[in-house]
Amino acid sequence: MTERPKSTGAPAHQNVTFPSGGTTAHGYLALPPSGRGPGVIVIQEWWGLTDHIADVADRLAREGFVALAPDLYGGNVAHESQEALRMMQDLPVARGVELLSGAVDHLLSLPEVTSETVGAVGFCMGGGFVLYLAAADPRVSAAVPFYGVIQGEAPDFSGLKARILGHFGELDQAIPKEAVDQLAETIERQSGITPDFRHYPADHAFFNDGRPVYHAESAARAWESTVPFLRERLG
């Protein structure tokens, strides 16, 4: 499996480069023990391409997937919430989707990737980008937003092809259940696809084991449904 870069001079966790959105993008690529498998894009929280996101990519690789976490902040990582908010706001949604579509291009071009479509798994800001990307790019066939934050208007889901498995915390004041229910209704009405949105007795960011709000039982349940969902959709 691909090891995390050490003394390369590159920002932490960057170990691949690829063309995306008219520029050279960076990211973290993790390969499964077999060397080949279905492709999954892993989309960062508003903090950046952190240890947690690289660890998620590694975990997916251990499950047999080729996992690519594109670095949407160009090597920058936030260390407090106001900085993270500013960095998130400095990344327009349309630009983020453009960069992520470039990451899909790169992932599907790799000889190690056996699937014709990709999965997308994202957290917080990245969970919202999972939905924006799936709405815009029919090559995404499995979308897994963890407590996804929609920035501004919801995307147009009329062209959605992906099945959606979403994970949300019942104690998450930033994303109340009413908002999640409304989002589910919008997706179904526009696309005809009923998302599977699941709720857990946990707060926002409950999957991140580096945060005080980590909830081990909820994280385990979410992961145990995510892996077979991706396998079923991607082969």
Query: What's the pLDDT score for residue 11?
Result: 55
pLDDT category at 234 given cuts 50, 70, 90 is: very high
d(CA 4, CA 105): 22
128 alpha carbon, distance to own chain's centre: 8
User: Are 11 and 88 contacting, i.e. CB atoms less than 8 angstroms apart?
Assistant: no
Whether pLDDT at 3 is above 90? no
Express each pLDDT in 181-231 by its tens digit.
Answer: 999 999 999 999 999 999 999 999 999 999 999 999 999 999 999 999 999
- The average pLDDT across 71-99 equals 95
Query: What's the pLDDT score for residue 222?
Result: 98
The amino acid sitting at 55 is D
Query: What's the pLDDT score for residue 121?
Result: 98
Query: What's the pLDDT score for residue 96?
Result: 96
Q: For residues 144, 53, 21 and 131, what is the CA-based torsion angle, rounded to 10 degrees?
A: 20
Residue 82 CB partners (closer than 8 Å, separation 6+): none
Active site residues: 124, 172, 204
Express each pLDDT in 9-57 by its tens digit.
Answer: 445 578 999 999 999 999 999 999 999 999 999 999 999 999 999 999 9
Query: What's the pLDDT score for residue 7?
Result: 31
User: Are 209 and 52 contacting, i.e. CB atoms less than 8 angstroms apart?
Assistant: yes
Whether pLDDT at 1 is above 60? no
d(CA 98, CA 4): 26
Hey, which residues does 142 pair with through a beta bridge? 119, 163
Residue 221 CB partners (closer than 8 Å, separation 6+): 200
d(CA 150, CA 128): 5
Whether pLDDT at 99 is above 70? yes
Express each pLDDT in 143-178 by its tens digit.
Answer: 999 999 998 889 999 999 999 999 999 999 999 999
- The average pLDDT across 93-122 equals 97
- The average pLDDT across 124-130 equals 98
β-pair type (23-30, 66-70): antiparallel
SS3 category, 71:
coil
| Residue found by looking up tokens 């349309």 in the block | 94
